Amino acid sequence: MGQKLSEEEARMIMLKASLLPKGAYINGSTLWECNCMRCGRTVHHKASQTKNRRSSCKYCSGNTLDFKSAIEIMKKAGAYPLVKRPKKTTDPWKSLCLDCYRVITPRYNDVQKGNHCPCKYCSNHDVPIEERLKVMSRANLKPLVDYPGSCMTNWKSECLDCERIVHPRYNNVQQGNGGCKYCSPAGFDVTKLGRVYIISNKNDSIRKIGISNVYKKRLRQHELQGLSNLILLTKEISGQFAKDIEQSWINYLRSEGIPPAETTLRYAGVSETWQTERCEDFPIFSPDIVDIDNRTDSCYD
């Protein structure tokens, strides 16, 4: 048997490992409740096993993933997880890039360190500035400041059509999803509040996503085409956010190999449709923006 540890010796061991004891000490072979002095979480460790370690916090060591905190860290870095957490922080985590809307697989361990773009597409720093300026010029945008250094950052520019100051993201402009919010096509105004909706036909075999500033009027137009069931409706959110959600969902479907629905009916915006059997869940919609009360069988009750 090893030498017994006194409470004073055990306490010193824990403090050296950045663990602050909270509960009562029994012996070195019994789990001891502590607070990690680095992350603040509560952990339970044995002093005898902690003796030769610099830190025994399972969270700081990367051996355990705090799911809720990890989700927020990923989202803040620009990645929206599409599947449940991986077993290890060093495993790839299938996510959706919130800037280019491509499916990516960053490792949480890399993302949590900060200063790391989780998207392998957006992190490409090798594109010459001349090429970036050509992309902006084709969208009738004139940058007013130097390139911000990341596709994830707004780039202050002047619209050469309306001469207003706008702040598009380069990656959105590159994909044709961004530009001047004031000169966007008629039908949806990104400067006003809007909603995102998902509707289906009567037998729910085909679904469609859309956005609208005046959603009831828009839904009635879809009803005339046979899309009368409301599946999901968000609360009123900023128009730009609504547009980003719609585009991210469409890109998510395409990245999963799900094409527009095949139908003899001529729906407006057929490119925003899909066969329900191919995808019934909506993993990118955060619950806090969904208007649950409007998720009814019919949107015209």
Q: Report how far residue 252's alpha carbon sits from residue 90's, in angstroms, rounded to the nearest whole number.
A: 24
pLDDT of residue 296: 44
pLDDT in tens, 200-249: 888 888 999 999 888 887 787 788 678 888 888 999 998 888 888 888 88
Is residue 166 within 8 A of residue 180, CB to CB? The reply is: yes
Q: Which residues contact 213 (CB under 8 A, 6 or more apart)?
A: 188, 189, 192, 193, 194, 239
- Say how many C-beta atoms besides its own lie within 10 A of residue 107's C-beta: 16
- pLDDT, mean of residues 161-170: 85
**Please, what is the average pLDDT of the chain?**
78
pLDDT in tens, 25-53: 888 888 888 888 777 788 888 888 776 65
pLDDT in tens, 50-89: 766 545 677 776 666 667 778 888 887 878 888 877 877 7
Domain limits, the chain: 7-50, 67-111, 129-174, 193-294
pLDDT of residue 196: 92
More confident residue, 280 or 136: 136
User: What SS3 class is residue 189?
Assistant: coil
Enumerate the H helices of 18-166 as residue ranges: 47-50, 67-76, 108-111, 129-138
pLDDT in tens, 87-123: 777 889 888 877 666 788 888 878 877 656 788 776 6
Q: Is the pLDDT of residue 23 over 60?
A: yes
Q: Report how far residue 166's alpha carbon sits from residue 180's, in angstroms, rounded to the nearest whole number.
A: 6
